[in-house]
Amino acid sequence: MHKDEMILISVDDHIVEPPDMFANHLPRKYLDEAPRLVHNEDGSDTWQFRDVVIPNVALNAVAGRPKEEYGLEPQGLDEIRPGCWQVDERVKDMNAGGILGSMCFPSFPGFAGRLFATEDQEFSLALVQAYNDWHVEEWCGAYPGRFIPMTLPVIWDPQACAAEIRRNAARGVHSLTFTENPAAMGYPSFHDFEHWKPMWDALVDTDTVLNVHIGSSGRLAITAPDAPMDVMITLQPMNIVQAAADLLWSRPIKEYPDLKIALSEGGTGWIPYFLERVDRTYEMHSTWTGQDFGGKLPSEVFREHFLTCFIADPVGVSTRHQIGVDNICWEADYPHSDSMWPGAPEQLDEVLTANNVPDAEINKMTYQNAMRWYHWDPFTHIPKDQATVGALRQAAEGHDVSIRALSHHDKGSRGDALHAAARGNSGA
């Protein structure tokens, strides 16, 4: 398959939320208390909510910058591509990158919406619902067929969380972002079945995928406090192995044959060994630990429940049959530094070609699996011949994708503070 013939749907991208996102969706009585974007004297922008200040507005939203400017900047909206936070520009960037569809994780509220958990549960619920309404109606609704809608959970209340899942499923949302480790955030773990049961019920009843994103508990990596940033970056995707193990050995996997879980931004190269290890564990220890998968191996059960994703990952692509081709999706990770934008089709094609991946398997991993898992069909809005890499790039002709310096602020004490924040709270 020529790269221009590929159809690309990314199951992991990110939004930098615009400053007016609450204006049309939060009840008037709460508007004065809502999180607000503040432009500071030093030129930076910060989201502020009560006594919480998010250290920078766009952690690692570095698409379009030279690698010398990668890192924890940018610190202001003037330092990022407009496509990070303006939906019209995002679609132009998607076209230029040959990307048909995108599922976008939140930024400032945290991947599991922890920022919105206050002592006033009515206010907290209003914030979650306002965010979800903005995301579904304004961000995704602006361009039908371009975004897989995803909503935040009501993480502090499983009953309210279930109701919100059902509310959004009624309007076509089959994706929920969640934490990979609720216990690390002060909530019961995945092993407390009764606590989370209303959520499991709602997910299964509505065919909604639970997306556990790396770093969503606030812990990107557990390492030495003085370790270089390279250690954390190296470990990021592999840290999701703990969530995979927790969930695979948990009761919901056995109770709900149709439960679907995505290991978002977790990569795939580690999975063959993980599956080998869980089968070995089951064989050697299930008689005394009491585990029972109903006559199946844990690796078989994994393939029934888990979706994985990759950016390039040559090792994962080469071992795709050990993972399960039906369990793999592609991701772009725009606008973060792991993203291959705008050259994703070229780099992806290089990996696929090197591993002699046949067209049928390419189609599964690049778009068909995403459509099936998330019950999302872009072709009801966009003809298939206009959805390819080549067609989208032709539509984006003239759109500026040049790499250029965007930083306007000096590094120094503020940069050190951001470094510390990333270690302790990134994605939380």
**Token duo for residue 86:** 């303006």
Packing angle, helices 158-169 and 193-205, rounded to 10:
10
State pLDDT tens for residues 87-141: 999 999 999 999 999 999 999 999 999 999 999 999 999 999 999 999 999 999 9
State pLDDT tens for residues 244-302: 999 999 999 999 999 999 999 999 999 999 999 999 999 999 999 999 999 999 999 99
333: number of Cβ within 10 Å:
22
In the predicted structure, residue 378 carries a pLDDT above the cut 90: yes
Question: Would you state the pLDDT for residue 43?
Answer: 83
Which candidate, 301, 192, 215, places its Cα nearest to that of 264?
215
**Beta partners for 306?**
261
Question: Would you state the pLDDT for residue 410?
Answer: 56
User: In angstroms, rounded to a whole number, what is the distance separating the alpha carbons of residues 21 and 133?
Assistant: 10
In the predicted structure, residue 33 carries a pLDDT above the cut 60: yes
Residue 79 corresponds to which amino acid? E
In the predicted structure, residue 222 carries a pLDDT above the cut 80: no
**Token duo for residue 98:** 């040959």
User: In angstroms, rounded to a whole number, what is the distance separating the alpha carbons of residues 254 and 301?
Assistant: 9
Question: Would you state the pLDDT for residue 404?
Answer: 80
Cβ atoms 353, 361 nearer than 8 A: no
What is the value of pTM for the model shown? 0.93
In the predicted structure, residue 420 carries a pLDDT above the cut 50: no
Question: Would you state the pLDDT for residue 41?
Answer: 87
253 backbone dihedrals φ, ψ, rounded to 5°: -60, -35
**Token duo for residue 419:** 């470094």
Superfamily of domain 3-425: Metal-dependent hydrolases (3.20.20.140)
Lowest-pLDDT choice from 27-31, 221-225, 246-250, 366-370: 221-225
135 backbone dihedrals φ, ψ, rounded to 5°: -65, -45
Question: Would you state the pLDDT for residue 427?
Answer: 44
State pLDDT tens for residues 147-193: 999 999 999 999 999 999 999 999 999 999 999 999 999 999 999 99
Residue 206 corresponds to which amino acid? T
User: In angstroms, rounded to a whole number, what is the distance separating the alpha carbons of residues 262 and 14?
Assistant: 16
Sheet-wide strand order for 328-330? 175-178, 209-213, 261-264, 306-310, 328-330
Question: Would you state the pLDDT for residue 230?
Answer: 85
Percent of the chain with pLDDT over 70: 93
User: In angstroms, rounded to a whole number, what is the distance separating the alpha carbons of residues 34 and 118?
Assistant: 12
User: In angstroms, rounded to a whole number, what is the distance separating the alpha carbons of residues 128 and 139?
Assistant: 15
Residue 8 corresponds to which amino acid? L
Q: Which residue has the higher pLDDT, 196 or 408?
A: 196
Domain ranges of the chain: 3-425
State pLDDT tens for residues 319-377: 999 999 999 999 999 999 899 999 999 999 999 999 999 999 999 999 999 999 999 99
Residue 215: pLDDT band with limits 50, 70, 90? confident
